[in-house]
């Protein structure tokens, strides 16, 4: 059964994704407070929000692949990851070309059609996640996978540490930078720690929050590092941050913050559509109304990036346009 806290963690994660992309879009449009603030704000978010999503994806890998053979598992990932990647790479890319006079980046249709080997924008995540699922599926052995998982995780950790040396040829960095968090999610699911922790008290939340703040402060302000300096420090910061989000999500799920759970449940559609919504908001505020206040833009862009896609999802369901989000499969009644 799906653990409630996961939707809360996805909700927190996808809000951070939207904020991060809004902030970067504003910076590219020369709407920002200061360069040091931009770099720091950007780096704090990027130290853990994508590792969080790879971790959450790993939580359900073992259960999912055990229910299906490898062929069926891959088919499902093609329908739910590769298919929307293709559809929305073309949709977002085409809109970007048509509105290139108003957007931050100039592009053309040849760049849009390069999606099979060159993901654009936020869609690198789906590209990377699909690659990781393929690799994990090849590694998976029903008889030995769980017992071999600690060794596999250690190997993936070493790949992470040396990822800068391995480089990005053939997008190998998509795997080396992220697969360790995926396998740690697998490890977490086998330990079933969330079932052992029946109550998260205020002290646990405060300690995890304080630890999160301290490691972020040390990493950014004392050590003067940024998220892209991959190594032991970035790994420690990411894992402590993920643990904080886990504790926070358990706390929020116990008091039932339904809106956040809804956002998490709809995180995929938000991920696919939020750039169009947030960029459109920025263009309207800046080009039409001449507003350039960063605080106004970050709030309005985040709200639009989170809630307009949810409205879009409601319309998709209402108008039976689900083919825009997942591959249309005719289900047969047993």
Residues above pLDDT 90, as percent of the chain: 84
Write the pLDDT tens digit of every residue in 176-194.
999 999 999 999 999 866 5
Report the C-alpha dihedral over residues 57, 59, 65, 67, rounded to 10 degrees. Answer: -120
Write the pLDDT tens digit of every residue in 75-113.
999 999 999 999 999 999 999 898 877 776 777 888 899
Residue whose entry in the numeric block shows the structure tokens 């769980």? 146
Residue 132: per-residue pLDDT: 98
198, pLDDT greater than 60: no
Distances (CA, A) of 82 to 5, 24, 123, 235, 263: 26, 26, 10, 28, 22
pTM across the whole model: 0.94
147, pLDDT greater than 80: yes
Quick one: average pLDDT of 114-123?
94
Residue 99: per-residue pLDDT: 84
334, pLDDT greater than 60: no
Q: Where are the domains of the chain?
A: 4-324
pLDDT band, very low/low/confident/very high, at 332 (cuts 50, 70, 90):
very low
Write the pLDDT tens digit of every residue in 227-257.
999 999 999 999 999 999 999 999 999 888 9
Q: Are 48 and 238 in contact (CB under 8 A)?
A: yes
Q: Are 325 and 316 in contact (CB under 8 A)?
A: yes
pLDDT band, very low/low/confident/very high, at 199 (cuts 50, 70, 90):
low
Residue 193: per-residue pLDDT: 60
User: Is the dihedral angle over the CA atoms 215, 221, 222, 223 positive or is it negative?
Assistant: positive
Nearest to 232 by CA among 298, 163, 170, 323: 163
Write the pLDDT tens digit of every residue in 7-65.
999 999 999 999 999 999 999 999 989 999 999 999 999 999 999 999 999 999 999 99
Report the C-alpha dihedral over residues 126, 21, 88, 116, rounded to 10 degrees. Answer: -50
| Helix ranges restricted to H, the chain | 4-28, 35-46, 49-59, 61-67, 70-77, 83-98, 109-112, 124-139, 145-161, 163-166, 172-176, 179-191, 193-196, 202-217, 232-255, 258-265, 267-283, 294-318
């Amino acid at each position: 059964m799906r653990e409630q806290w996961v939707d809360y963690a996805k909700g927190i994660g996808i809000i951070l994704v939207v904020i991060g992309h809004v902030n970067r879009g504003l910076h590219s449009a020369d709407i920002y407070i200061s360069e040091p603030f931009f770099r720091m704000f950007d780096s704090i978010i990027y130290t853990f929000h994508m590792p969080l999503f790879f971790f959450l994806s790993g939580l359900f890998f073992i259960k999912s692949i055990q229910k299906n053979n490898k062929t069926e598992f891959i088919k499902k990932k093609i329908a739910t990851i590769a298919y929307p990647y293709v559809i929305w790479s073309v949709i977002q890319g085409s809109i970007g070309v048509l509105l290139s006079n108003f957007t931050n980046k100039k592009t053309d249709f040849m760049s849009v059609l390069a999606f099979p080997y060159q993901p654009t924008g936020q869609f690198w995540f789906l590209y990377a996640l699909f690659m990781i699922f393929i690799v994990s599926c090849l590694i998976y052995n029903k008889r030995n996978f769980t017992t071999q998982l600690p060794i596999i995780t250690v190997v993936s950790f070493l790949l992470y540490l040396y990822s800068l040396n391995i480089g990005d040829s053939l997008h190998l960095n998509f795997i080396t930078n992220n697969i360790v968090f995926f396998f740690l999610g697998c490890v977490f699911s086998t330990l079933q720690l969330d079932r052992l922790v029946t109550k998260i008290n205020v002290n646990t939340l405060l300690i995890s929050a304080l630890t999160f703040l301290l490691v972020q402060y040390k990493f950014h302000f004392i050590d003067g590092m940024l998220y892209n300096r991959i190594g032991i420090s970035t790994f420690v910061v990411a894992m402590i941050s993920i643990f904080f989000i886990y504790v926070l999500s358990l706390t929020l799920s116990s008091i039932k913050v339904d809106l956040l759970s809804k956002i998490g449940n709809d995180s995929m559609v938000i991920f696919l559509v939020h750039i169009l919504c947030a960029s459109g908001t920025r263009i309207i505020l800046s080009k039409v109304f001449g507003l350039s206040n960063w605080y106004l833009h970050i709030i309005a862009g985040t709200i639009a990036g989170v809630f307009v896609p949810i409205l879009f999802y409601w319309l998709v369901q209402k108008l039976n346009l689900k083919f825009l989000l997942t591959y249309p499969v005719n289900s047969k009644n047993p």
